[in-house]
Amino acid sequence: MSAEKRRRMLEDLLAETPDDAELHYSLAMEDVSASDHDAAVQRFRDLIARHPEKPHVPAFLMAAQSLMKTAKTDEAMEMLRAGVEAARKQGNQHAMGEMQGLLDGLE
């Protein structure tokens, strides 16, 4: 399936179920695949903001990586710190360790 068809399919599904976090994440990952890191970061930020009480933890790491690709290291570090905290609150030790390791490498 082409990237354009995949994106269209995701957008159609999202129109039907606008609160589906995985669909928002998948659409942001399409932006990453297209090297549109600014759009990806915005989608990841929107996804995180949709559920502030229990944000989608992988979005923090992916947003940080996209920020790093656009030389926005300070913003990436902020995103990673927030992601570490979100992962800690949700008991996601794996994600917490992965983000902390990346953060440690940037500091």
pLDDT, residue 3, reads 84
DSSP E strands in 9-107: the ranges are none
Residues 6+ apart with CB under 8 A from 12: none
Q: Domains along the chain?
A: 3-106 (1.25.40.10)
pLDDT, residue 71, reads 95
pLDDT, residue 107, reads 78
Distance of CA 26 to the CA centre of its chain: 9
pLDDT, residue 2, reads 86
User: If we measure between CA atoms, which residue out of 72, 75, 80, 82 comes closest to residue 101?
Assistant: 80
**Count of CB atoms situated within 10 Å of the CB of 101:** 10
Are 83 and 100 in contact by the 8 Å Cβ rule? The answer is no
Are 62 and 28 in contact by the 8 Å Cβ rule? The answer is yes
- In the chain, count of helices (H) and strands (E)? 6, 0
At 7-22, the pLDDT tens digits run 999 999 999 999 899 9
Cα 85 from Cα 48, distance rounded (Å): 13
Which residues of the chain register pLDDT less than 50?
none
